[in-house]
């Protein structure tokens, strides 16, 4: 039970008549966890055809009458002051309407920070925006140009001359470690976790390993760069944004400009990938300020370079892991200490020790995270924050221990896997990681692996195979709301300010609603993507599907009650209480009794109603108080390494996932595969190159920052245990982020198996293997 979970639960616990053990009052599993009408079946994306045709409109494609285009000028020093700022050439350039700097920018408050305690906030960067001459990181915006065309704006921005007074900046990760803080946080409750005596365990161990692993700063590279098109209508702000936090963005912009909730409207029906990056950053705020000053609509579409200056990424980490074991391979001590960057103006924890706190039933624990404060862009969440770098270190360490003990690495995990939370003792809601290992091992052909490194070769290529565990905690948000409208033809419309950033939100929730309401799929429409709809929590923490599913469930309970009331006495439903009702055959019936049924159409017709509308809200996630809840995976990799060039070629990857029930195999497989491809980039190529002398990010295009291309991606098989989790909506846990976790370790472990070289420093570029 962490503070994160307590925070989500808030004060609601006492207010509810809570039976410990389920998200549903009464402690029963969700009936949909077993129902297999639409759920569990493959469905193609309902937004697919519009995207393929180019009919889906993204934020940078929205046109507004009289719209101006924005370009940004970024500071080239990390800390200091603007001494001189000459904007005259820019102001006189063709097409320029406005140059905004700290001298003429309107007063703006610092945006409230994103957080689970404030579901209507989305700010990532807690620094004043263009309010003074101070420079706080290399890349901070010092001027914004508005012009008639993007090209004119870009050109004018290049004419602005800035002279800086430099001050000493803290940009050296290694050097600043000595000043690191050891904060507790929303996610890391007891940051310094000590249980038993790890030092004694290491001293007495029959086998041990002790090593330091490093992961680099990583940069977000979604297919759609950040973009916003917006305008003021009097004191209302209309925003088309690429966001995974609709209400958070609206609420934060309202605070920044001193408006009330409801004065900011945000629309974001399609997002070209979020991964944690698509929150509120300085550009939306600057665009709104410039639109206010100029009295014109504004489009700001960040270049890749501007993205790297303004949108944070995954922090670099340095992690020491030490494991002690007895002769049978039982882990007797687990030490995990490490550092990541978290500037004071950032709210994001890179919680890389989470898996070490829950995965293995070690005899003793000594785990702590240190946060290093630097004068850099605020770091942020990036798909499987914490877990992606954390499982790299932990799961390489387990592989090292297996090699030391001469035990098969899967067998070593089997001997040590935790059957409940090893620190708190909380039971798992559902967990069968070893079944995932069995499935994955069979699929990749693990029996063909030889345990001795450098023992398989084809010409210049050394062959290897490796595996690792991935993990991501279950999160469900409170307060997510859904409206269900049933019309006189008996069809349903479900509406919520949920987000579509490529994962198939409406597609899957249509399956959820159809099965929940006893309707055919074609009779359900799902509306998502703007703040005119009921409250949606962020699409983050792999929480959206469960949160919205719970909201639809809550709304459906209300709907059943309202329908019976509406049906009156002249109905087979007469006298039935709410807990005796279920939906079936496009209507309501007594549970298990089709003889006492009335259809939606018949009820509405008799009541002379054109429709019925209810709103339901996802209850507080009280299941987190009682259970240890994690999605888990077994990742396998087969690869070859050139003995001549050090090049790594991945031949195959298999991901076997234990994430509760899979609701739509097609969209789920895409999520898993996409995550694994991101893990492949983390393993082999991705690295934000940072010049510590100037505090400047040097890899500002995707020509410099290497994400996998199609030719880099091997055959990827994804499998799942598909065991419903009785403690979650629909029996499902999150699947959005787990795909990336464990992949880098599986690749590194396979590289060791191929070459005998243990590289503890990502990415695994050829120079490190020669």
Strands (E), 148-282: 161-166, 193-195, 207-215, 227-233, 236-241, 264-267
CA 340 to the chain's CA centroid: 18
Taking the complex as a whole, how short is the minimal distance between the CB of residue 671 and ligand MOS, in angstroms?
A: 12
Strand 492-495 with 524-527, pairing: parallel
Taking the complex as a whole, how short is the minimal distance between the CB of residue 71 and ligand MOS, in angstroms?
A: 28
Indicate the residue among 125 and 589 with the shorter CB distance to ligand MOS. 125
For residue 646, give both structure tokens: 């050090």
Indicate the residue among 312 and 490 with the shorter CB distance to ligand MOS. 312
- Alpha-carbon distance 568 to 556, whole Å? 19
Indicate the residue among 171 and 509 with the shorter CB distance to ligand MOS. 509
Strand 236-241 with 227-233, pairing: antiparallel
Active site residue 737: yes
What is the contact surface with ligand MOS in residues (CB under 6 A)? Answer: 244, 274-276, 381-383, 385, 540-541, 737
Residue nearest to ligand MOS (CB): 276
Taking the complex as a whole, how short is the minimal distance between the CB of residue 185 and ligand MOS, in angstroms?
A: 15
Indicate the residue among 21 and 621 with the shorter CB distance to ligand MOS. 621
- The answer to whether the beta carbons of residues 657 and 719 sit under 8 Å apart is yes
Query: What is the number of other CB atoms lying within 10 angstroms of the CB of residue 548?
Result: 32
**Percent helix, strand, coil in the chain (nearest 5)?**
30, 25, 45
Indicate the residue among 387 and 421 with the shorter CB distance to ligand MOS. 387
For residue 744, give both structure tokens: 């880098």
Taking the complex as a whole, how short is the minimal distance between the CB of residue 348 and ligand MOS, in angstroms?
A: 9
- Alpha-carbon distance 623 to 727, whole Å? 7
The position carrying tokens 């060039």 is: 645
- Alpha-carbon distance 512 to 490, whole Å? 17
CA 736 to the chain's CA centroid: 7
Indicate the residue among 382 and 567 with the shorter CB distance to ligand MOS. 382
Q: What angle do CA 116, 347, 235 make, to 5 degrees?
A: 75
- Alpha-carbon distance 236 to 263, whole Å? 5
Give me the helix-helix angle, 387-405 and 743-755, nearest 10°: 30
Q: What is the DSSP string of 427-465?
A: BBSS--HHHHHHHHHHHHTGGG--SSTT--EETTEEEEE
Taking the complex as a whole, how short is the minimal distance between the CB of residue 720 and ligand MOS, in angstroms?
A: 20
- Alpha-carbon distance 72 to 6, whole Å? 41
Indicate the residue among 540 and 679 with the shorter CB distance to ligand MOS. 540
CA distances from 654 to 120, 466, 674 (A): 38, 11, 13
- Alpha-carbon distance 198 to 194, whole Å? 8
Taking the complex as a whole, how short is the minimal distance between the CB of residue 166 and ligand MOS, in angstroms?
A: 34
Taking the complex as a whole, how short is the minimal distance between the CB of residue 304 and ligand MOS, in angstroms?
A: 19
Cis peptide bond upstream of 763, omega within 30 = yes
Choose, from 218, 400, 686, 737, the residue flagged as catalytic.
737
Indicate the residue among 381 and 393 with the shorter CB distance to ligand MOS. 381
Taking the complex as a whole, how short is the minimal distance between the CB of residue 220 and ligand MOS, in angstroms?
A: 9
For residue 702, give both structure tokens: 């995707």
Strand 141-147 with 96-100, pairing: antiparallel
Indicate the residue among 314 and 760 with the shorter CB distance to ligand MOS. 314
Q: What is the DSSP letter of 698?
A: -
For residue 507, give both structure tokens: 């597609």
Taking the complex as a whole, how short is the minimal distance between the CB of residue 501 and ligand MOS, in angstroms?
A: 8
Indicate the residue among 270 and 461 with the shorter CB distance to ligand MOS. 270
- Alpha-carbon distance 659 to 612, whole Å? 35
Taking the complex as a whole, how short is the minimal distance between the CB of residue 750 and ligand MOS, in angstroms?
A: 26
Residue positions annotated with a catalytic role: 737
């Amino acid at each position: 039970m962490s503070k994160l979970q307590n925070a989500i639960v808030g004060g609601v616990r006492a207010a509810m008549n809570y039976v410990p053990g389920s998200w549903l009052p009464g402690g029963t599993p969700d009936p949909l966890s077993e129902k297999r009408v639409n759920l569990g079946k493959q469905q193609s994306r309902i937004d697919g055809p519009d995207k393929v045709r180019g009919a889906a409109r993204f934020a940078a494609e929205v046109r507004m009458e009289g719209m101006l285009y924005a370009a940004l000028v970024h500071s080239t020093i990390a800390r200091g002051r603007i001494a001189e700022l000459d904007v005259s050439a820019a102001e006189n350039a063709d097409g320029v309407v406005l140059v905004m700097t700290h001298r003429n920018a309107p007063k703006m408050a610092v945006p409230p920070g994103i957080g689970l305690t404030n579901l209507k906030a989305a700010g990532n960067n807690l620094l004043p925006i263009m309010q003074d001459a101070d420079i706080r990181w290399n890349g901070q915006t010092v001027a914004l140009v508005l012009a008639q065309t993007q090209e004119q704006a870009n050109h004018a921005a290049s004419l602005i001359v800035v002279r800086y007074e430099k001050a000493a900046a803290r940009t050296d990760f290694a050097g600043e470690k000595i000043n690191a803080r050891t904060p507790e946080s929303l996610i890391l409750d007891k940051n310094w976790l000590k249980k038993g005596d790890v030092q004694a365990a290491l001293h007495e161990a029959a086998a041990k390993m002790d090593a330091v692993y490093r992961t680099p700063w990583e940069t977000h590279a979604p297919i759609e760069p950040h973009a916003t098109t917006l305008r003021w209508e009097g004191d209302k702000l209309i925003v088309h944004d690429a966001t995974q936090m609709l209400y958070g963005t609206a609420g934060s912009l309202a605070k920044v400009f001193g408006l009330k909730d409801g004065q900011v409207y945000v629309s974001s029906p399609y997002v070209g990938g979020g991964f944690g990056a698509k929150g509120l950053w300085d550009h939306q705020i600057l665009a709104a300020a410039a639109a206010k000053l100029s009295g014109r609509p504004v489009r700001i579409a960040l270049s890749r370079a501007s993205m790297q200056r303004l949108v944070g990424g995954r922090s670099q980490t340095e992690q020491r892991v030490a494991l002690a074991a007895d002769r049978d391979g039982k882990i007797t001590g687990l030490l995990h200490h490490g550092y990541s960057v978290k500037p004071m103006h950032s709210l994001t924890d890179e919680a890389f020790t989470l898996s070490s706190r829950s995965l293995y039933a070690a005899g003793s624990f000594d785990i702590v995270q240190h946060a290093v404060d630097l004068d850099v862009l605020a770091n942020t969440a990036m798909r499987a924050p914490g877990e992606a770098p954390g499982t790299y270190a932990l799961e390489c360490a387990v592989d090292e221990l297996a090699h030391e003990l001469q035990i098969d690495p899967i067998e070593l995990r089997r001997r040590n896997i935790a059957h409940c939370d090893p620190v708190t003792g909380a039971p798992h809601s559902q967990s069968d990681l070893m079944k995932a290992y069995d499935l994955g091992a069979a699929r990749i052909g693990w029996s063909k692996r030889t345990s001795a490194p450098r023992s398989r070769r084809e010409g210049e290529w050394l062959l290897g195979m490796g595996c690792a565990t991935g993990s991501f905690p279950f999160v469900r948000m409170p307060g997510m709301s859904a409206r269900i409208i049933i019309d006189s033809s008996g069809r349903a419309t479900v509406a919520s300010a949920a987000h579509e950033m490529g994962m198939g939100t409406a597609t899957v929730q249509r399956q959820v609603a159809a099965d929940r309401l006893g309707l055919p799929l074609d009779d359900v429409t799902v509306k998502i993507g703007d703040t005119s709809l009921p409250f949606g929590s962020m699409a983050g923490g792999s929480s959206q599907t469960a949160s919205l599913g719970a909201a639809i469930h809550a709304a459906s309970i209300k709907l059943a009650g309202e329908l019976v009331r509406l049906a009156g006495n002249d109905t087979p439903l007469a006298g039935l209480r709410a807990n005796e009702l279920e939906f079936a055959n496009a209507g309501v019936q007594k549970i298990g009794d089709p003889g006492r049924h009335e259809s939606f159409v018949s009820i509405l017709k008799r009541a002379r109603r054109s429709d019925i509308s209810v709103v339901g809200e996802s209850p507080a996630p009280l299941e987190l108080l009682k259970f240890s809840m994690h999605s888990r995976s077994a990742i396998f990799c087969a690869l070859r390494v050139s003995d001549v060039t050090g090049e790594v070629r991945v031949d195959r990857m298999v991901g076997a996932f234990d994430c509760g029930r899979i609701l739509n195999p097609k969209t789920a497989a895409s999520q898993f595969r996409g995550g694994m491809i991101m893990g492949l980039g983390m393993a082999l190529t991705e690295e934000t190159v940072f010049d510590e002398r100037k505090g400047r990010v040097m890899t500002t295009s995707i020509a410099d920052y290497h994400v996998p291309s199609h030719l880099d991606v091997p055959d990827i098989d994804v499998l799942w245990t598909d065991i419903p989790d009785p403690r979650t909506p629909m029996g499902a846990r999150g699947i959005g982020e787990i795909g990336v976790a464990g992949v880098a370790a599986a690749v590194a472990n396979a590289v060791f198996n191929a070459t005998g070289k243990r590289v503890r420093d990502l990415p695994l570029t050829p120079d490190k293997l020669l």
